[in-house]
Structure 1
């Protein structure tokens, strides 16, 4: 086996001999259904990969604890294998080939729209070339809008709100924030980061034409270790707010540098609600860091609270508590589609995923068949001290959590698509 292939099964008791060669016999009808997570488990964004792994492990465990997926031939468990992409596109493509050779027919990935775009292209070509081994791609967080617009694919399903939808939710808050008259646009220099800033400019022009853009800057993805020069420019610009789609260490290091520089403006973020960001900015973030998400731990429902508490029981370390509701919905949707299809055939399962509707822990959503963009509620939260009204739970033991200040229904969050879906004959 290649040294580049890093695979760890999280299905307890699964035999190491489950390797299925590319030209082997038909799969055992009782064998686990393999799900391959292609994600950065090392490198600059390893913390994001580990966060994803915890969430998917928990979701798979829940399906298996209730007996697995019920198929006509009998129940089958799910098996999650992880493949380290190291955050690099070429490594992700190598991992995809390894996963297919190992017998995986469900691919999950999300932490990088550039990687997701490459996987979509590779899967389209593979499925056309090798119909006996077709695979489906479930995307939990690659949110470049192009992936369900111009580059939409029958084999790709996105379960996160895309960047334009997230930006629209943030703008519902920013449009009413009359203390903000100038903003600095800041992002990672790749397809997603560029899309965020492009949409920020468009929506600001439509909703807050009075707001001046005093900075508009992109930086290398995952390569900047010292954001102090950027923070100094942001502070010197006089911007009253920063709009950023930064994630992982690129966000944490940015907010740390801004804190150290004495910047006291607001941060309108896509991912400011975890992975070290609240602890990094500390007291300076109270009332100033705004984040959009599909779900937040302080959503005020009993079902949501029970969901969060059960995750904390499974993963008790405070630093492990970045919970993704949508990743639970990914696995629930997959299990439902498999059962309705009555088989693991990729075409049959994909057709069921096109119309899937899932409800879990008070969260509900459905897949839009036109472009395979999942439609679900969105929430916007503001950072506050734990214990203040609306903040029962903090983030990663930081003492700070997010109070929900705006909720959008699926209909309010929905946006049009330009997808021209090509489906198999």
Structure 2
């Protein structure tokens, strides 16, 4: 009799365990998208929201966890304070996963708020998936177990960019112009340090910081750049701050080369036009003419939304989340975070790894150049007849930078 009872208890336990293992299958996983839908960067936010909705739709058709993703959009107006309100709203709606990327100021505020929420609310933890906020501190001195980043950080991109620039003999005088917040300040810092190490002969003839998403006329800045005699500009600007800078440069007949982080979207390609052909370079984790699965997504996205699919870090974020849920066999953020650490998977740009030490995705980086479309590089960006073509690719280990993160993991 005891043997029968024991056998029955083992059978029930095994059945419950099997049920728990597949508990996530068919579940709806809410993901709060927290970024700007108003202000000067609203066009970027609207594109990003469509991107996440598009990716969720693709993954809902097939993903390893068998879950359904629902994107909940909340406008943070690019404000750290509004970001905190957005997180509260998301939590009140039962959301356990949040994505954000536009602005490291908002990202740092969100990361701090998530940390505090998780400390105060055990059993209701939230994970922050960061697809574009690139301040290196977020995976170094301020790293968090609950934060995972899918873009290469500012230092990683500058490592790749200056590795390319050191071999360009025509670069003599560099002007730095950046947005006055965490990312822009870090671009300036790492550009000066890396150039001094790799090309000490290059002069930095200017270093300006301007308000984020507030400047409407960059002609005074361009006048300073012309007066400095700079042949090259390095900028981490994005959105309207880059598009308007480029427009002012074109209007003033400034022929300097631009080395950028984010020239491929947000109206900047339109501002570049044919006048900037051969003078604009970009560092990034992919490019429009990469082909393969990314090429298919680009074509499908443009056909459906009449817009460019330019933030593929969003794809990496959602794929890792699905892989993490499948590995954890649960949608519980505590279990999913543990499953995502160190996880290797194939993204749109090849094999990548979520580094366990700091939760920074390790991935290849590319240097591209602005030129007219041709048979080999056929993707037409913003209907300009122009595109970014790949000049150089760097494996993940080349652009990877060390981390000072001292990760505090839950017991």
TM over 0.5: yes
- Is 1:357 aligned to 2:357, yes or no? no
* Residue matched to 1:287: 278
Match of 2:381, SS state, is: coil
Aligned to 1:4: none
Which residue number in structure 1 is paired with residue 244 of structure 2?
A: 253
Deviation at 1:362, TM superposition (A): 5.0
Change (3 A) 1:361 1:140: closer
Q: Does 1:367 align with 2:357?
A: no
Equivalent pair of 1:35/1:78 in contact (CA under 8 Å) = yes
Q: Which residue of 1 aligns with 2:94?
A: 103
2:144 equivalent to 1:153: yes
**Is 1:184 aligned to residue 171 of structure 2?**
no
1:124 to 97, 115, 121: 115
SS where residue 321 of structure 1 aligns? coil
* Structure 1 residue 307, shift from structure 2 partner: 3.5
How far apart in 2 are the matches of 1:88 and 1:361? 31
The answer to whether the aligner puts 1:237 opposite 2:228 as a matched pair is yes
Per-residue Cα deviation, 1:273-306 (whole angstroms, up to 9, x for no partner): 222112202223111100111110112x444433
Distance in structure 2 (CA, Å) of the matches to 1:367 and 1:161: 11
Contact 1:153 1:422 survives alignment (8 Å)? yes
Change in CA separation of 1:236 and 1:113 when aligned onto 2, cut-off 3 Å: same
More helix by share: 2
- Runs of 5+ consecutive residues of structure 2 not aligned to the other structure: 1-22
Corresponding residue for residue 207 of structure 1: 198
| Structure 2 CA distance for aligned equivalents of residues 142 and 399 of structure 1 | 30
CA distance in 1: counterparts of 2:318 and 2:200, whole angstroms = 42
Shift of 1:132: 2.1
2:266 to 268, 271, 275: 275
Q: Does 1:76 align with 2:63?
A: no
Cα shift at 1:168: 1.1
Q: How many residues align?
A: 389
TM-score by length of 2: 0.91
CA distance, structure 1, for counterparts of residue 348 and residue 281 of structure 2: 24
Map of 1:19-418 to 2, 5 A cutoff? 32-66=28-62, 70=65, 75-299=66-290, 301-315=291-305, 317=306, 320-387=307-374, 390-418=376-404
Question: Deviations 1:181-218 (Å, cap 9, x if unpaired)?
Answer: 00101000111100010000000100111111111110
C-alpha contact 1:35 1:108 (8 A) present in aligned 2: yes
SS at the partner of 1:415?
coil
Q: Is the 8 A contact 1:307 1:361 kept in 2?
A: no
When the two chains are superposed, the root-mean-square deviation of aligned CA atoms in Å is 1.6
CA deviation vs aligned residue, 1:210-264 (integer Å, no higher than 9, x gap): 1111111100111111111111111111100100000110010000001101100
Distance 1:142 1:361, change over 3 A: closer
